[in-house]
Amino acid sequence: MLTDLNYRLSCLTVYRSLLQDPVMSALRSSLENLQPTGDQSLAASDAFHSMVHRLLQTGLSFGDHLLDLISHDDNPFSRNCELYGLDSCSAALQQVTARDLRILQDLYVNPSMVAVPEWQELQPLFDSQEPAGSNSLLTWLRQSEDWGQELSSLADHYRKHSRGMISRYRALSWEGEGLQGLEHPDLPRMSDLIGYESQKEQILANTRQFVEGFPANNILLYGSRGTGKSTMVKSLIHEFWDWGLRLVEVGRDQLVYLPQLVETLSDYRLPVIIFIDDLSFEAYETGYKGLKAVMEGSLQLQPQHILIYATSNRRHLVKEFFADRSGPGEEIHTQDTLQEKLSLSDRFGLTLTFPPTQQQLYLQIVEHMVQEQGIEMDAELLRRRALEWERAHHGRSGRTARQFVNSLRRL
C-alpha cells in the first residue's frame, strides 16, 4: 500500500513541482526507505520525522499544507486557467490534471498511510484545521468527494487569485534573478498619512481606474524628503486589497532588469504596480534609458495590468548642469542631450507634488501619532518639544514627526 502510494506520487505530472516541496520531498524519502515488509527502517523513520519538523515550520497541518501547495502551484493548468479560462485547456491537459488531483486527494484523505509507530502521538499534525484567511480559499476541496471533478472550481480560483509568487504574496521585490516574496512587508494604511489630501485623491482615483481594468497613468511622486511619498504608494495594497493589487519594489540599481521584470509580470493577470523609490540619476548614469524604453518608446507595449509608480526628491530625474544648456566642450547637439535627460519625467502621465511640511501640518501629524500610540502629554508641552525636536534634527516632515514620537515612548 505504501509503496503503491510512492509510485502514484511519482506519476504526478501537472502538479509535479509539489514533489520539490521540502515536506513532500521528506515524505517520499520516508516511503522510499521502507522495508519490503512495511516495517520502519532507521532511514525511513529519520525522513518521516524530518517531514514532521518541516511541517511544523509551516504552521499548518499536513492536509492544509497540501491544499496550500495546490492553491499556489504554478503549472500549465493553473497558468492557462488564470490567463484564458478552463476552456483554453485541452482535453488531455484536463484529464491529466484530474488524475493528479485524485492522487493528491488519496494522500489528503488518508495521511495515516505514511504513519510510524508514533502515529497516535503525531496525528493532530495531520488533521485539517480549517485555517482562516488565504488558506481557506479551497474549502470546497475539503468537502469534495472527487477532486478530479472540481476542475471548474479550481480554474475559477486560479483566475481570481493567480498562481505562484503572485498568488502567495501581496508585496514582492525584484532581486535581479527573479521575484522574491516579502514575508513581513511594511504596509501602512492611507489613514496613517496626514495631509496631502489632493495627492491622495489623485493617486486613489488613478489606481482605482487601473484595478478596474481601464487605462491609467504611470505616476511620479516628487517633493521634499519625509513627506510620505513612499507611504502613500505602499498603502495602496490595503486600499485595493479586494482587487488583488500587487506591489513589486525595484531598487534603482536593478533598473537594468526592468524589461525582464515586465516580461515576467506580463505572464500574470492580476494588477501590479512596480514601485521605484528614490528615483534619480547622476549625469553619467545611463540606467534611465531602460526605464524610458519600458514606459514608452520600445516595440514591446507596457502591459495594461502593469503600472510604474516612482518617488523622487527631484522633478527632473537626471541631473543636469548649466554647462548642459550653454553647450561648451565638444558636444554639438546640446539641446538633443538636454531633451533626452528631461524626457524621462515626461513618461509619467501623472506627477504629484509634495511641498515641504508646514508647521501646522507637522504638529497635526505629531498629535495624530501620539493619540494613535496612547501617549498622554500636556498639549502645550507636546507642541513645544515637537518644535524643539524638528529644529534640532531634520526639519519638519512626517518622518521627523514619527522619530519624535518614537523618542517619547522611551520616557
Question: What's the CATH code, domain 171-354?
Answer: 3.40.50.300
Full DSSP string of 67-89? HHHHHH--SHHHHHHHHH-GGGS
In a 10 Å sphere around its CB, with 0-12 CB exposed, 13-18 middle and 19+ buried, how is residue 279 labelled? buried
* CA distance readout (Å), 158 to 154, 178, 229: 6, 21, 33
> Mind listing the pLDDT tens digit for each residue in 11-48?
999 999 999 999 999 988 888 887 665 556 788 788 88
For the packed helices 288-295 and 258-265, what is the interaxial angle rounded to 10 degrees? Answer: 30
CB contact at 8 A, 170 and 247: yes
Calpha distance 56→23 (Å, rounded): 10
pLDDT exceeds cutoff 80 at 64: yes
The pLDDT assigned to 333 comes to 40
pLDDT in tens, 214-230: 999 999 998 888 888 99
Most confident range (mean pLDDT) of 308-312, 399-403, 405-409 is 308-312
pLDDT digits 0-9 by tens, 351-371: 999 988 888 888 888 888 888
pLDDT value of residue 279: 82
| pLDDT the model gives residue 315 | 56
- pTM of the predicted protein model: 0.83
The tens digit of pLDDT for each residue in 164-204 reads 999 999 999 998 778 999 999 988 899 888 889 999 999 99
Cα gap 349→4, rounded to integer Å = 60
* pLDDT at residue 409 in the model: 65
Contact 127, 61 (CB under 8 A): yes
Determine the 3-state secondary structure of 353 from DSSP: strand
Residue listed under C-alpha cell 505602499: 234
Region of 233 (left: φ > 0; alpha: ψ -120 to 50; beta: rest) is alpha
Q: What angle do CA 236, 223, 173 make, to 5 degrees?
A: 40
Q: Using 50, 70 and 90 to split pLDDT, how confident is the model at 334? A: very low
Q: The C-alpha cell of 120 is what?
A: 497516535
pLDDT of residue 242 exceeding 70, the answer is: yes
**H-run or E-run covering 247:** strand 246-249
